[in-house]
Amino acid sequence: MRPASSFARYLPVLDWGRGYNRTILTNDLVAAAIVTIMLIPQSLAYAMLAGLPPEIGLYASILPIVAYALFGTSRALAVGPVAVISLMTLTAASSIAPPGSAEFIAAALVLAFLSGAMLIVMGVLRLGFLANLLSHPVVSGFITASGLIIATSQLKSILGVKASGEAMPELVSTLIANLANTNLPTLIIGVVSTAFLFWVRKGLKPLLVRLGLKSRTADLTAKAGPIAAVAVSTLAVVLLDLEAQGVKVVGQIPQSLPPFTVPLFDAELWQRLAIPALLLSVIGFVESVSVAQTLAAKKRQRINPDQELIGLGAANVAAAFTGGYPVTGGFARSVVNFDAGAETPAAGAFTAIGIAIAALFLTPFLASLPIATLAATIIVAVLSLVDFKTPQHIWHYSKPDFAAMAATVLVTLLAGVEPGVIAGVGLSLALFLWRASRPHAAIVGRVPETEHFRNVRRHQVLTDPRILTIRIDESLTYLNARWLEEFVLEQVAEHPKLRHLILMCSAVNTIDASALESIEAINHRLADAGVKLHLSEVKGPVMDALERSHLLHDLTGTVWLSQNKAFAALLVLADDEDAPATSDDPWAARGLI
């Protein structure tokens, strides 16, 4: 590999940066301005969701974005604090110290550093395929359950009461217990802000279009709705002195750029946070790469999952050293970034500049921002992640997938986020192993007047009681080796006239040592029963492996290039072994059905 291409593999900016021009710059600047407006209230809200001071949300939205712009491959992915990762951070760091405390903040920094380091190591080792360990139904179920937990947890800020808990039962019970202490002004702000933000998502764009704005302009203007909610609710608190009536506000936010921070090196702390950091890494990567691939496909671009690991890892390490907390690519802001016309990751760097300006100059105006408004922002954002349609589709399509999804939802709701993630990973692997251990196989016969072979249960095909063909539709490994033996011997027992058995291997991509041993055992057992074992349509790489074994030497039958040649030749061989046919119809004379 040439040095330049090697550098470009780890620094994609060297690739897209070569073609950067004034037009792309303009598009990136416009997208950055729109995403910055959206990101300011979101960053504050998600930091508070994570149990952290609001300014940490701004810090996590500056240098991490720049780091991803340098190392990431997606042209539209917007990195920063997101709801699910914020909730997972709260859950993990709460096991170390109370939310908001210095120890809690230190734990959040360690989480960001460990998560980033793990992602970078996985990227260097090219382990992007690990995202496949989580099936789509399980990820969808986890995000839906997490969204419900997050929305429920924010009701305390809408009502102005205290509530606690990491799982739904405890959250609901503490909310109900404190319902009598609801603060009326807070409730009004929360309900109005939530209703307004829901309306902005659905109703503002059509209104603006009717007023004469172009569709794209109206859409982008509607995305800035949260800023209007922030401005109006903050103004209401100041003019009506609602803070004196019990309305909780954000309070003073430091006017500063992100500080330089060093994650605490404590072996015991790192050990306690290692598993949560790994879960954060996996969920964050899966969520991010899903969004990145979806947006890249719309412009016929591609992303590199291995390099995405490095990009996200660099973003999290940057967060750890600049007073932030774990980050990943967010769905909502990435879609806004894409729709606003972002063409390169430079749009993210410009967004970081906008957030930095806000941290330096705009934070005094946010001191009177009601927390209820931020809670409304979170509720509206996370409820868009709650998906009730997918379970219905999956129920009709695959009951095992639905069971895995439902179990993930229930575990997450009843036990919390971390048990939900662990259950999701475990269920995904268990479902994969269960399916791999029971591959699809079919008894096939020849379609009349063709050379094609199809399942006898689905098609009218030609067969012979002396010849049995089993088509195996899966690679043969230690997971299904024992199953193969049982299936073949069961079929032999059901066909008393059998003399030749063909394993049709057109869908077999590999045969490992365990499966090879099983095939050898099948060969010997069939020989004892007077049945010859044949193989057909064996792929080149599989054949290369078999030639390094004793199977081909000991095989009682033949390895055939095509299934049709195998069937035709074995018909003749079976006829030679029996009385010669006399009928004018050779198929009928041979006993074909």
The beta-strand segments (E) located in 334-417 are none
Side chain identity at 61, as an amino acid letter? S
**343 φ, ψ to 5°?**
-110, -20
pLDDT tens-digit series, residues 97-127: 999 899 999 999 999 999 999 999 999 998 8
Give the end-to-end CA distance of the chain in Å, rounded to a whole number.
59
Q: What is the pLDDT of residue 370?
A: 93
pLDDT tens, position by position, for the chain (593 residues)? 444 455 666 677 777 777 788 888 888 888 888 888 878 888 998 999 899 999 999 999 999 999 998 898 888 888 999 888 998 999 999 999 999 899 999 999 999 999 999 999 999 998 877 766 677 788 888 888 888 998 899 999 999 998 887 789 988 999 999 999 999 999 999 999 999 988 888 888 788 888 888 877 777 777 777 788 888 999 999 999 999 998 999 888 888 899 999 999 999 999 999 999 998 998 888 888 878 887 877 777 778 888 999 999 999 999 999 999 999 988 777 877 787 778 888 888 899 999 999 999 888 888 899 999 999 988 888 887 788 888 899 999 988 888 888 988 999 899 888 788 788 778 878 888 888 888 889 999 999 999 999 999 999 999 999 999 999 999 999 999 999 999 999 999 999 999 999 999 999 999 999 999 999 999 999 999 999 999 999 999 999 999 999 999 999 999 999 999 999 999 998 887 775 544 444 444 444 43
Q: What is the pLDDT of residue 1?
A: 43
**249 φ, ψ to 5°?**
-120, 170
C-alpha–C-alpha distance, residues 72 and 62, integer Å: 15
Q: Which of helix, strand or coil describes residue 472?
A: strand
C-alpha–C-alpha distance, residues 575 and 461, integer Å: 20
Q: What is the pLDDT of residue 9?
A: 64
- Under 8 Å between Cβ of 325 and 108: yes
Q: What is the pLDDT of residue 462?
A: 92
pTM (2 decimals)? Answer: 0.78
The beta-strand segments (E) located in 423-542 are 441-446, 453-455, 467-472, 500-504, 532-536
537's torsion region: left (phi>0), alpha (psi -120 to 50) or beta?
Answer: left
For 191, residues 6+ apart whose C-beta sits below 8 A from its C-beta are 158
Q: What is the pLDDT of residue 8?
A: 61
Nearest CA among 149, 83, 56, 55 for reference residue 415:
149
Measure CA 306 to chain center.
14
- Under 8 Å between Cβ of 26 and 20: no
Q: What is the pLDDT of residue 579?
A: 54
Q: What is the pLDDT of residue 591?
A: 42
Burial call 310-334: b when 16+ CB within 10 Å, e when fewer = bbbbbbbbbbbbbbbbbbbbbbbbb
Helix (H) or strand (E) holding 193, with range, is helix 184-199
